[in-house]
Structure 1
Amino acid sequence: MDVPKGNADSADESITILFTHDLHDNFLPFEIDRGQGEVTVGGYARLHSAIQEQREKDPDALLVDAGDFAMGTLFQTIYQTDAPGLKMMGQMGYDVTTIGNHEFDFRAEGLARSLRAAKDSGEELPSIVASNTIFPTDEDGELPDNIKALKEAMNEYDVKDYMVIERKGIRIGILGLMGEEAAGNAPMSGVTFNNAIESAKSTVATLKNDEKVDLVIALSHSGTSEDPSQSEDELIAKKVPDIDVIISGHSHTTLEEPIIIGDTILGSAGEYGEHLGVLTISQNENDKWTVNNYELQLIDDSLPLDSEITKTIEEYKQVIQENYLRQFRMEFDEVLAYTPFDFTPFTELGIDQKEEPLGNLIGDSFVHTIQQLEGSEYEPIAAAVVPVGTIRNSFNKGNITVSNVFNVNSLGIGPDGISGYPLLDIYLTGKELKTVAEVDASITPIMNEVQLYIAGLSYTFNTNRLIFNKVTDISLQSQNGTKEEIDDKKLYRVVGGLYSVQMLPYVNEKSFGILSVVPKTKEGKPVTDFEDHIIYMNDHQEVKEWYAIANYMKSFEKVDGVAQVPAYYNQLKDRKVVVHDASIFAILKNPNGIILTAYGIVLAFVGILALLITYIVKRRKRKKGTAV
């Protein structure tokens, strides 16, 4: 194997590893609230300045990334044609990255096109390592066309299972891993992934025994968790002790101090390029690597803007304007509205089960935009479903631009092949509408990412009631607060994003077969192809989720020519009322059909048990009588 070398020849010096992960195309700075007011952080122009500073201290510093470099801002809209993330990483001098689950957001074909676009550019690019990716064959043993295209593109890019880099006379082996939870978040990738631990064991053995490396670094898109059983990168460290350093991506974790497991050093630098991780290590007398220095350098306005990176970003913005935004008649930095208040920060969304004004706004925007498009032919929408997992950002007090709105609902791609999930409609019975609310109440504590915000419904649930029987009151609710009883047998029109609505049939699986939701056509027949129900702006253009929000923003009342987000969205509207009543009466009152069935089973069991006990007692009495 060809081994890229550094400048120094001595092995006496320490090794510096600069690292990022979960950049998600955040080319531009953004604001965060650190409790003492908002500060501006991130942005590749300043990130590059930090990288240059570190490399002035150590020209042989290794610069790596642990995946999810793409998807999250308007820059993703040219992912397939221009590969801005990879090319920008090349310009900033990254040595190696790995592929995260979001690199598959546009499916295998999208990743293949992106890799080819990057390679065809002729620009400097980072190497890519992906150690546990598998290309499945069909029943005839052949690769499907989309997987064949991806495999060929990865070969052309020269994606490797691992690579070896030499710095300061030290051979460094680098592998890339996709964790189980991350792989589950790429259901449309078309590829599969070997178990990360088993793959790491095999690759590390090759690096140690065949490549004779001195230092092993895993770029792991697996993540950490407060639950030890779910903290995949910590489990990898325990099971594969010959890994010296794990750069942990996927969970967006910010580790102010490294996690040390045995002799393995685990670092994580947060998200979106807010920090540059800096890890300096050296070998001790036992040839084990130990930490000399670990820090997360904040990328803020104390750092200068690199002029070349800034120029490149502006060029990409122009490409986005021409190739994507123009068809929506919007501009990148166009101000859509002003909000006089902060919405719940993105980092706090979904942590608790509760109503969220941002979820209300998004759901209302879907209804408003469809009503506007359909005009006199508008058919009333009963509910608009917004899962917390599809919300990727929030709004801070101040101007809201097209770019800001896109960042809030940036996920996915439609059949039109362009960025953004489209809206679609299906029909549910009133009983199924109630079931959707019960799913939110009962399954969210198990899988927090499925928490729902549902415009058009008002429901109350008690967290202390039995699972699948938590909802105690539910009705239709108009935006002005008027409530209407739900007819269990009536079909109601429901809208949502393509991903969200496609997930509804999985209610049966997630509820162990107890609950059922079957999306239907207007005629009441089960939906067989969700793409047939996409809503269009014209003959060919899909209504994207983000566009509905942007369009709704424009409809707000204006002050000095600028639309103002109304105070309505700074308040709760009783769309989701959560109570925590532990009294026996509150827990047992108004049982639904599911729980009545369960009660019946329990009572039947108790009855059978009582009969059995009675029978045993009688037999014992008979035996005693016989003995006498």
Structure 2
Amino acid sequence: MHGKGLSKKKSFFYSASLLVFLCIGLVAAAQAGPAHNLVVLFTHDMHSNLDEYAVPSGDDKVVITGGYARLSTAIRNERKGKEGDTLVVDAGDFSMGTLFHTIRSTYALELVAMGMMGYDATTFGNREFEFGPGPLAHCLLSAKSHGKGGLPAIIASNTVVDSHAPELASFHKAYTGYPVVLYKIIKRAGLKIGLFGLMGKDASIYAPEAQPVKFSDSVDAARAMVDLLRNKEKVNMVVCLSHCGTWPDKNISEDEILAKAVPGIDVIVSGHTHTILDSYIRVGNSYVVSSGCYGGHLGRLELTKNPDGSFKAVDYRIIPITSALSKDQQISGLIDSFKKEIDEEYLSYFNYHYGQPLAHSAFSLAFPDWSREERSQCLISGLGDLVTDAFIYAVKNKEGKDYQDISLAIEGWGQIRVPLAKGTLTVDDTFRLMALGLGQDGLAGSSLVTFRLTGSEIKSLLELEATLAPVKEDMRLQISGMRFSYDPKAPPFARVKKVEVEKANGKLEPLKDTRLYRVCTNWKTLAMRDTLKALTGGKIVFIPKDETGKPIADIQTTRVFADAKKSLELKEWLAVAMYVQSFPLGDKGLAEVPLKYSLPQTNITKLK
């Protein structure tokens, strides 16, 4: 897909943003005198959620939250009267998660809007590399072209780009042209502040598409940055924009480990794990802070300087971005003006348009919220059941008379991104639900794939749930077509016990180790099979096979097509859209989601 010239309407918004940026810059430049309290406003893991969205609330209601137009108002409210004392930063994964990222390469709306909102800096998260270095290069170039009102600095201190690698020539040019920097010095509140940015170990595992871009050890990089900033640049404060994350298990909580290993960091804005820290974490003199994902909250940390040069928190708040906040009309207009571009450049391929109603649900299809550490307390979800049932339905629909039975549809929780709030379900809701991946057809969205595995390979694959999920929640599985139980007390990778295959007549039969079964999953899971093998020390291994049991040499042939003549893949989100549209009409004049999905099916059992 190719970029287009900006309309007069869009030119207005970009020109207006220049005036906003200049005003912000003049105020910040006017600061002088002794140091006063510094306010750090922060976000992370916004994942292209420019538009507001609906979320289920605990009292069976729906709350409209987020959206850059209201986030911009919240930032403006917090800055008012103290512009020269306020730092606005983001800790990465600013892209990938909604239909707006489908036009990221041509318009870079995420970065342009952040510039208009007054962000000083951000860093790369793993999702920035979701489409690979090439499309990210286009994004950086587009940002430079369209961000006339200024852009946030991108700080990447452990991202390694080989300037001599021919395959990275265009990326390196865009990287240095933006420019992406190792660190940045900003003066606020009478302080000289040094900022640097990190990609964490866990995050880098989820960025296989970044190759041949690499990421050095985050702790080693942090030590080097702190030494440079403290001893060469002589800064008063060090702020790390970290895409490393925190976990309940302190032994693997990367940003807490970082703070302990590198004591010269004053503030760590912690992204990647989508965590909301209602109270900051204090490690020595370091403050670790997190505000959750999708732009649903704005974090605020206010610090005062102690006589010994360290800093003391005098205020810490997580501010909800709710409908009670007015919308910044400039940002709102920018967002609305690009919905037509999404239709033309992406949704038109699938005969949909932005905001198109698909179905109605009388109940919310909830999903465990990993920002509140709920995932470890839940095995399966009704929403996850709907997703894997949709896979089977959509493949059967597209293959028609050539359809061969799928014995197992499988999806990892890391691919299911959000809950679905009750009410009208739209095409943008289904895309946001299954937003990740780039198809081999060049279009956003991971495609469905099918292949055969032996029963023993399937049993090995199910150890993702039984062995890995207790320590990595996004490894949890949703399945359709089979049922299994596992013993959490058994040795690792030997926990899956009874596995049964559900036949078309509803009867169950035992899984047979040597028999071939047709499996349906997504392209990303298939593409990460070598990563899974390495992560598990060779304990989880599966080789895609054809119907004869022969290993598939070209995994491109595993893809399922929505339109084979156009080489248009059947995307995960499209499967869900097709499935919910297939339900019988309800009294709202739309297909009605069946009540059975309000509760999870009993296809995974944890033995006591």
The two structures have a TM-score, normalised by structure 1, of 0.86
Tell me which residue corresponds to 2:350.
Answer: 328
How far apart in 1 are the matches of 2:106 and 2:155? 22
Aligned-residue offset at 1:487 = 4.3
Whole-Å separation in 2 of the counterparts to 1:75 and 1:382: 35
- In 2: Cα distance, 1:576 partner to 1:309 partner: 45
Structure 1's 195 and 50: CA in aligned 2 closer, same or farther, altered over 3 A? same
Tell whether the 8 Å contact from 1:46 to 1:303 is kept in structure 2 after alignment.
yes
Partner of 1:29: 52
Instruction: Say if 2:582 is the partner of 1:562.
Output: no
For 1:579-611, what per-residue CA distance to the aligned partner results, in whole angstroms no more than 9, with x for missing partners? 31xxxxxxxxxxxxxxxxxxxxxxxxxxxxxxx
Distance 1:275-1:515 versus aligned 2 partners, 3 A rule: closer
1:471-482 alignment runs, 5 A limit: 471-478=496-503, 481-482=506-507
Task: Tell me if the contact between 1:388 and 1:450 (Cα under 8 Å) persists in the aligned partners.
Answer: yes
Q: Is 2:56–2:366's contact at 8 Å kept on the other side of the alignment?
A: no
The residue matched to 1:131 in structure 2 has which SS?
Answer: coil
Distance 2:403 2:73 in 1: 53
The whole-number CA distance in structure 1 between the counterparts of 2:224 and 2:553 is 43
1:39 paired residue number: 63
- Counterparts of 1:307-318 in structure 2, within 5 Å, are 307-318=329-340
Q: Given the superposition, is the C-alpha separation of residues 97 and 571 from structure 1 closer, same or farther in structure 2, using an over 3 Å criterion?
A: closer
Query: Partner residue of 1:52?
Result: 76
1:443 and 1:204 mapped to 2: Cα distance? 34
Residues 441, 291 of structure 1: CA spacing in aligned structure 2 closer, same or farther, 3 A cutoff? closer
Greater C-alpha radius of gyration:
1
Match 2:578 to one of 527, 551, 558: 551
Assess, with a 3 A threshold, how the Cα gap between structure 1 residues 576 and 369 changes in structure 2: closer, same or farther.
same
Taking every aligned residue pair, what percent have the same amino acid on both sides? 36
C-alpha distance in 2 between matches for 1:497 and 1:346: 21
Aligned CA distance change for structure 1 residues 441 and 289 (closer, same or farther; 3 Å): closer
Asked if 2 retains the 8 angstrom alpha-carbon contact of 1:459 and 1:574, the reply is no
| Distance of aligned partners of 1:202 and 1:464 in 2 relative to their CA distance in 1, 3 Å threshold | closer
Taking the TM superposition and a 5 Å limit, the aligned residue runs for 1:150-161 are 150-161=171-182
Counterpart Cα distance in 1 of 2:547 and 2:404: 11
- Alignment-mate amino acid for residue 412 of structure 1: G
Aligned counterparts of 1:479 and 1:68: Cα–Cα separation in 2: 42
The match for 1:92 is 117
1-side partners of 2:427 and 2:247: how far apart? 34
Q: C-alpha offsets along residues 411-467 of structure 1, whole Å, 9 cap, x if unaligned?
A: 110112221001111111233334333553344334432222221112233334444
> Contact 2:56/2:364 (CA < 8 Å) preserved in 1?
no
Is it true that 1:416 corresponds to 2:436 in the alignment? no
SS at match of 2:317: strand
Q: Please report how far the alpha carbon of residue 474 of structure 1 lies from its aligned counterpart in structure 2 after TM superposition.
A: 2.3
Equivalenced residue count is 573
Q: Which residue of 2 aligns with 1:319?
A: 341
Per the alignment, residue 185 of structure 1 pairs with 206
For 2:331, give the aligned amino acid.
I
Offset at residue 119 of structure 1 (A): 0.9
- CA distance, structure 2, for counterparts of residue 278 and residue 468 of structure 1: 43
Q: Deviations over 1:69-104 (max 9, x none)?
A: 111111111111211110110111111111111111
Task: State how far apart, in whole Å, the 1-side matches of 2:404 and 2:446 are.
Answer: 22
CA displacement at 1:572 relative to structure 2? 4.1
1:128 aligned residue (154, 178, 181): 154
CA distance in 1, matches of 2:539, 2:525: 20
Instruction: Name the structure 2 match of 1:223.
Output: 245
Q: Does 1:149 align with 2:175?
A: no
Question: Over the residues paired in the alignment, what is the CA RMSD in angstroms?
Answer: 2.2
Greater CA deviation, 570-579 or 68-77?
570-579
> Residue 43 of structure 2 is aligned with which of 12, 16, 20?
20
Deviations 1:53-83 (A, max 9, x none): 1221312122111111111111111111211
Q: Distance in 2 between matches of 1:52 and 1:292?
A: 20
Q: CA deviation at 1:551?
A: 0.6
- Retained in 2: the 8 A contact 1:343–1:358? yes
1:491–1:46 distance in 2 versus 1, CA, 3 Å: same
Distance 1:465 1:98, change over 3 A: closer
Match of 1:176 in 2: 197
- Which of 89, 92, 96 is equivalent to 1:67? 92
Question: Secondary structure in 2 aligned to 1:351?
Answer: helix
What amino acid does structure 1 have at the position aligned with 2:217?
N
* Contact 1:174/1:219 (<8 A) preserved: yes
Equivalent-residue separation in structure 1 for 2:329 and 2:304 (angstroms): 34
Of the structure 1 ranges 180-189 and 485-494, higher mean CA displacement relative to structure 2 is found in 485-494
In the alignment, what sits opposite 2:552? 527
For the residues of structure 1 that align with 2:486 and 2:352, how far apart are their CA atoms?
Answer: 41
Correspondent of 1:197 among 212, 219, 235: 219
Deviations 1:382-428 (A, max 9, x none): 21111112111122222111111111111110112221001111111
Structure 2 distance, partners of 1:395, 1:205, is 46
For the residue of structure 2 that corresponds to 1:557, the secondary structure is coil
Equivalent position SS for 1:549 = helix
Change (3 A) 1:425 1:164: same
Write out aligned runs for 1:97-112 (5 A). 97-112=122-137
Whether 1:395 aligns to 2:420 is yes
- Give SS of 2:138's match: helix
Paired AA for residue 181 in structure 2: K
Change (3 A) 1:360 1:505: farther
Shift of 1:228: 1.8
- Going from structure 1 to structure 2, the CA distance change for 1:183 and 1:324 (only over 3 Å counts) comes to same
1:449 paired residue number: 474
CA separation in 1, counterparts of 2:421 and 2:140? 35
Structure 1 residues 131 and 469: CA distance shift in structure 2, 3 A = closer
1:481–1:573 CA contact under 8 A, matched in 2: no
Could you say if the C-alpha distance between residues 159 and 503 of structure 1 is closer, same or farther in structure 2, counting changes exceeding 3 Å? closer
Shift of 1:307: 0.8
How far apart in 1 are the matches of 2:463 and 2:255? Answer: 34
Gaps of 5+ in 1: 581-628
Whether 1:285 and 2:313 are equivalent positions in the alignment is no
Q: Could you list the runs of 5+ residues in structure 2 that have no partner in the other structure?
A: 1-24
Distance 1:509 1:208, change over 3 A: closer
* SS of match in other structure, 2:439: coil
Residue identity opposite 2:598 in structure 1 = N
User: C-alpha deviations, 1:312-351, integer Å up to 9, x for none?
Assistant: 1101211111111111111221111111222233416742
Q: 1:250 to 1:515 in 2, by over 3 A?
A: closer
1:459 pairs with one of 455, 462, 484: 484
Farther off after superposition, 117-126 or 538-547: 117-126
Do the aligned partners of residues 406 and 127 (structure 1) sit closer, same or farther apart at CA in structure 2, a change above 3 Å counting? same
- Determine the C-alpha separation between the residues in 1 that align with 2:251 and 2:199: 17
Question: Could you tell me how far apart the structure 1 residues matched to 2:110 and 2:329 are?
Answer: 18
